[in-house]
Amino acid sequence: MSNSTADSLRRVTLDDVRGAQKVLSGVARTTAMEGSRHLSQLVGAPVHLKCENLQRTGSFKLRGAYVRIAGLLPEERAAGVVAASAGNHAQGVALASSLLGVHATVFMPKGAPLPKISATREYGAEVRLHGQVVDETLAAAQEYAERTGAVFIHPFDHPDVIAGQGTVGLEILEQCPEVGTIVVGIGGGGLVAGVAVAVKALRPDVRIVGVQAAGSAAYPPSLAAGRPVAIENPATMADGIKVGRPGDVPFGIVTELVDEVRTVSEDQLSAALLLCLERAKLVVEPAGASPVAALLGAPGTLPGPVVAVLSGGNVDPVLLQRVLRHGMAAQGRYLAVRLRLTDRPGALATLLGVLSVVDANVLDVSHVRTDPRLGLTEAEVELHLETKGPAHCAEVGHALREAGYTVIG
């Protein structure tokens, strides 16, 4: 595979993807395809989960990184490689470089989760922390490449990377030959572009649907404009697809081969992550859960069988805790209420007795008795409750009001 700048915009073909599959033999795992009865019932069609969260390094990124670095010329390998990433691409580049005997320098934001920083180092890369956001980190990595001659390994905007990611599509066709729709999360677009190249060449009837987080959806306006358009201040918990501008190479492929791009809300992402954990027993990061979120958001709108690509499972435990709680709240299974009561002995026990009657499980209690906002005989209580759904939440609120409590938040 050529590495010249002029060649960087060449068309990616099925032969490229098949060549990448040979390069990856014995390196990348052929990840499992798991059926989901629960999702199938909700969606109204057979649903299968392509478990790239179980790939080496915890995401599909190893595929593209390895193919790109394996294609470097000897003198380019000798100069080393450099990348910028908050997590998945960093780990993919680190392991690929280690396997190929190439020195890797990876720039990561100062606020990157500690488990991802540690994993990147353990895979053999030299980690440099720079900047507060990925754009600053990316600029630092590109400056390093210009200054040292190291080869910059882009996370999605290169044909070799896209060809590597496209091997996911070949595996899907082998594991689920009857597939009708493939749903893929989109950040810069490398994965969905690669999958589309492979699948549309062999099965043009298969529908390819991309999914973006609503707060970081650069593809819809770009597709409308006919060119990559940058959006300002992309915001989403799904850092794996938090990209402000489509890549030039994947954008051309998406324009031609991807049938539709949908967006999902943060609530839908949380609910999808929770479903993957509870019903499929799979730990998936928010970006990896985005295809499931799209299925939950519009059941019955995609021809089956449907394959949802779970692109990664590298979720920070602190974020996982927050997201799960958010997902439970979105499903009406978690309720936070704040109320005031008379500050007297036994008042808190009486309140908890009301909650016990309606079978609400108390997870946390914050009891404030001294605050300038409170009257002399008042106390404020914030309760975090585990509930059984929207109807149960309404029942809890009704019981509190019937008992004479004023709910203020």
The two counts, helices (H) then strands (E), for the chain are: 16, 14
Which of 50, 61, 200, 242 does the annotation list as catalytic? 61
Distance between CA atoms of residues 378 and 215, nearest Å: 41
Find out whether 162 and 153 touch, Cβ atoms under 8 Å.
no
In the residue annotation, 311 being an active-site residue is answered as yes
Residues paired with 210 in a beta bridge: 184, 261
Question: Which residue has tokens 């499929």?
Answer: 280
| Length of the chain (residues) | 409
Find out whether 81 and 104 touch, Cβ atoms under 8 Å.
yes
In the residue annotation, 98 being an active-site residue is answered as no
Which of 216, 270, 290, 311 does the annotation list as catalytic? 311
Phi, psi of 207 (to 5 degrees): -85, 130
**What is the secondary structure of 146-161 as a DSSP string?**
HHH-PEE--SSSSHHH
By C-alpha distance, which of 405, 385, 392, 251 is closest to 341? Answer: 405
Phi, psi of 153 (to 5 degrees): -100, 100
- Quote helix, strand, coil % in the chain, to nearest 5: 50, 20, 35
Helix (H) or strand (E) holding 195: helix 190-202
Please, is 357 exposed, middle or buried when counting C-beta atoms within 10 Å of its C-beta (0-12, 13-18, 19+)? exposed
Residues marked active site are found at 61, 311
